[in-house]
Amino acid sequence: MSFVEMAIFVSIPIIIASMLLMLYRVAVGPSLEDRVVALDLIATTAIGFVAVYSIISNSTTVLDVGIIIAMLAFLGTTAFAYYLERRSKT
């Protein structure tokens, strides 16, 4: 077993465990801000999962999905920051 294969099989359970912890934070988060940050972290972890899947399947076309997830996460975080700024002014 090569180092890359071992790293892949170690990273998949770690990614899944971190997603479960972040889903817990989304469900139980004490504030709205904590929940949004957890959703942003889920998107970032999903990008990591897509990258690992791309390595496993030996296909670079899957990486486009990761780019789309990154764009959606950026837009969502930006929109939430705009919402928080507008909420604090009133």
Q: Which domain holds residue 61?
A: 3-89
Task: Reply yes or no on whether the pLDDT at 88 is more than 90.
Answer: no
Question: Looking at the 3D structure of the chain, how many domains does it have?
Answer: 1
Q: In this predicted model, which residue has the larger pLDDT, 57 or 90?
A: 57
pTM of this structure: 0.87
What is the structure's pLDDT at 45? 96
- Using alpha carbons, list the distances in angstroms from residue 60 to 12, 42, 45, 56: 18, 22, 18, 10
Q: Taken in order 22, 23, 29, 33, is the CA torsion positive or negative?
A: positive
pLDDT band at 87 (very low <50, low <70, confident <90, very high): confident
Specify the DSSP element, H or E, that contains 45: helix 32-57
Task: Reply yes or no on whether the pLDDT at 90 is more than 80.
Answer: no
pLDDT in tens, 2-49: 999 999 999 999 999 999 999 999 999 899 889 999 999 999 999 999
